[in-house]
Amino acid sequence: MDYIDFEGIIPQGEYGGGTVIVWDNGIYHAEGNEDVIKDNSLMKKQLKDGAIKIVLKGEKLNGSWHMVLMKGDEETRQWLLMKSKDEFADPKNSFDENQ
């Protein structure tokens, strides 16, 4: 939390080297859970299971988001971030197979 408002340049070669900006600010919690005390253990289980479901309440991003660990080689597999269809989803950005 010491760096929550830090913006600037970290010299190359140092941990996190490069330009740092604060893109959004807010809070999050595990989807379907309103008890902050349980969030940490629930999200650790979700991480182990390879599917994290969170609700963001930020200045820019809001609503439900899902992160899914893709299948593949353990060293090269990546996380896929998807916006859930909720009141914060922008229908202009949705795929409609009938268009």
Name which of 16, 15, 95, 26 is nearest 59 in CA terms: 26
pLDDT of residue 3: 79
pLDDT of residue 21: 93
Higher pLDDT, 30 or 99: 30
- Supply φ then ψ for residue 42, to 5 degrees: -65, -45
Pairing of strands 51-58, 62-69: antiparallel
Domain range list for the chain: 25-90
* H/E run at residue 55: strand 51-58
pLDDT of residue 97: 55
The per-residue pLDDT for range 19-77, each reduced to its tens digit, is: 999 999 999 999 988 888 899 899 999 999 999 999 999 999 999 999 999 998 888 88
Q: Copy the structure tokens of residue 98.
A: 């009938």
